[in-house]
Chain A
């Protein structure tokens, strides 16, 4: 890594407002607030343990490239830094098969509001020792602590991974295909990704008359609507092409923002109390409220 976790902690300090700067891919550091940079660099990749350890400032493209060299990958979207991706907690379009991104973080050394290096989680793929602070920190937008180092769970690259398109009903594909990686639908056309043994992918593709394509469609943006997957059928009444929906997941990519309902007072109170206990003076990413951050692509 290009700096130690202790040097990072010293930069965060113990008083005054502070924000953290990555690659400004997902919104970037808060303007007008002194910014720090997390350590960058890969510490180790252990394919046999299915883990990668690196500084939070490491670019995701570097992570993906290094993992590909040992035949592995990690379910974190490309672009920006790994710390930024984890802080925002937004999954990529493979969530249907790979689950939400929050599940990949096994352990982190983060720097809290007191300026102290704090460990959350454990280095093994299975661990229930103590409360799950890793899940708390993923998607907390750096309001409870700044990621310094992280250990994430990796997985082998599939032997075959191909995108297809079809005019078939996406809900029938969801019901009939065995664990598709992604099903995207714009109201007219369906795109899907199948991973696995090449022969199995061929069988599924011919059985469902899928046409191979280079990749997924461009996603309308920048907004992501979050709806129960059971409500996606209602999109049939909308103009085809005005959205791309992740079938079976419930994320709908759109140009316009989603109007979200009021927050349950109990949820508001839990957020306020957690912030109060982790950052009493409100110095970490001051003014930023995870409950009010609109999810953007």
Chain B
């Protein structure tokens, strides 16, 4: 079968960019999650025509295909079903055009998130979604997962920053969803496509909104004697009518792990710390900072560190965004969750996370977007210890179930992928899920676009919903 597929692809795509050797298929069998699948053929697309050719071959032969950006996804969304055609968009990495006046840009999906902001920095603008992986994750991946990041509290996630998409639909046709003009007739298919995890087609060009840089910025770090006290201050701030650009929390184990690695002067004695950033015009930043300090003082917060300059600010953010890397100082493996809970329940849920992980004898590091209630408990472990993975899995499931039970959701920014597919019934009824399935069927009647992700119901997909060999979810 593979030979036939390779031959069909090589008829239309430069044969050097159609690869089925053991090295490539092994490399592309996984993403940044702990799951693996089995790629059949990898196509290194350089154009919309390449993507279209690959999708047409898949459609004609009834084979699964999936698009892959940088492979930084944490939910298994880019883990290939067995024998799939993997379409890598990493070579489609050009910024096509920039409209500086109206702050829009057309880019190819393989452009890296941070590269885009760097390339347009001279125009005084940036791309707002900023996942911690922004140095390596691609715009195409951001679109597929509707990615967020620390600074999405004020400016919104990827969906709010995508104006239009050129896509190759699962039947091989090319169309544009949305547009540079704001009020097209019809359904918001652009909005539906963003976050569809590669199951509605492949984005081949993306029109993004660029945000004005802020004239002023202030960043501060506060320390607390308990996670609950930090969480309470977050609620106080929002209730007072202040929406900071970012409000990030790190707990003690996180502070200690990061400090041991980066030596950023973090308060390792504190139970938790909040990193708060206010942006805007000078008067607004000053008044928000003053208000936040008053609210903090009212809660008895003694130590507040304010970044004195851009260097110190960058150091604090490096500490926050480097938290996942610092985990290697604690244990060789980690498993990361991504639930969102109402802000008012943050302290209670974190306490529950500590209780659950203690019960299973697992270390946990908490580093998360406190402003929007988006938790990121990192369960750290050593996969070489027998039975550990099962415990991590069970503890994680309890954490997710508790988050949903208090009025939260399964995923804030990583997506469902394979990892949380079978947990979807915690949040959605069969009726709810059948509506999502209906939308999928409208885009992909053949069920070949990144099948077996997101939706748990196997009714319409037969054995394609099987989790790949070696996967654990």
Interface size on B, residues (CB 8 A): 90
Interface residues of B in 172-228 (CB under 8 A from A): 173-177, 179-192, 194-196, 199, 212, 214-215
| Chain B, Cβ-Cβ closest to A123 | B407
- Asked if B429 is an interface residue, CB under 8 A from chain A, the answer is yes
- Contact pick for B188, options A139, A203, A295, CB 8 Å: A139
**Shortest distance in angstroms between B76's beta carbon and chain A's nearest beta carbon?**
14
Contact B282 A129 (CB under 8 A): no
- Asked if B340 is an interface residue, CB under 8 A from chain A, the answer is yes
Asked if A132 meets B409 with Cβ closer than 8 Å, knowing A119-B432, A228-B180, the reply is no
Asked if A132 meets B283 with Cβ closer than 8 Å, knowing A47-B239, A95-B182, A276-B442, the reply is no
- Asked if B145 is an interface residue, CB under 8 A from chain A, the answer is yes
Contact B184 A226 (CB under 8 A): yes
Interface residues of B in 8-36 (CB under 8 A from A): none
- Asked if B413 is an interface residue, CB under 8 A from chain A, the answer is yes
Contact A118 B181 (CB under 8 A): no
| Interface hit among B254-262, B312-320, B366-374 | B366-374
- Contact pick for B432, options A120, A139, A290, CB 8 Å: A120
- Asked if B412 is an interface residue, CB under 8 A from chain A, the answer is yes
| Chain B, Cβ-Cβ closest to A291 | B186
Contact A203 B283 (CB under 8 A): yes
| Chain A, Cβ-Cβ closest to B194 | A132
| Interface hit among B85-93, B298-306, B341-349, B355-363 | B341-349
**Shortest distance in angstroms between A280's beta carbon and chain B's nearest beta carbon?**
10
- Asked if B159 is an interface residue, CB under 8 A from chain A, the answer is yes
Contact A126 B372 (CB under 8 A): yes
- Asked if A197 is an interface residue, CB under 8 A from chain B, the answer is yes
Q: Tell me the complex Cα distance, A171–B99, Å.
A: 13
Q: Tell me the complex Cα distance, A174–B180, Å.
A: 17
- Asked if B397 is an interface residue, CB under 8 A from chain A, the answer is no
Contact B431 A117 (CB under 8 A): yes
| Chain B, Cβ-Cβ closest to A276 | B442
Interface residues of B in 418-437 (CB under 8 A from A): 420, 424, 427-429, 431-433, 435-436
Asked if A131 meets B439 with Cβ closer than 8 Å, knowing A119-B432, A175-B101, the reply is yes
Q: Tell me the complex Cα distance, A139–B178, Å.
A: 13
- Asked if B57 is an interface residue, CB under 8 A from chain A, the answer is no
- Asked if A135 is an interface residue, CB under 8 A from chain B, the answer is yes
- Asked if B454 is an interface residue, CB under 8 A from chain A, the answer is yes
**Shortest distance in angstroms between B236's beta carbon and chain A's nearest beta carbon?**
8
Report A-chain residues with C-beta under 8 Å of the C-beta of B103.
Answer: 248
Query: What are 22 A-to-B residue pairs whose CB atoms are below 8 Å?
Result: A47-B238, A72-B241, A112-B435, A119-B429, A120-B435, A125-B372, A130-B436, A131-B196, A132-B146, A135-B190, A135-B191, A140-B187, A156-B241, A179-B212, A179-B280, A229-B101, A248-B103, A264-B175, A271-B186, A273-B441, A273-B445, A290-B185
13 additional contacts (CB under 8 A) given A124-B409, A126-B374: A48-B235, A120-B432, A123-B409, A129-B410, A129-B411, A130-B454, A135-B159, A171-B101, A178-B214, A267-B189, A290-B185, A290-B187, A294-B185
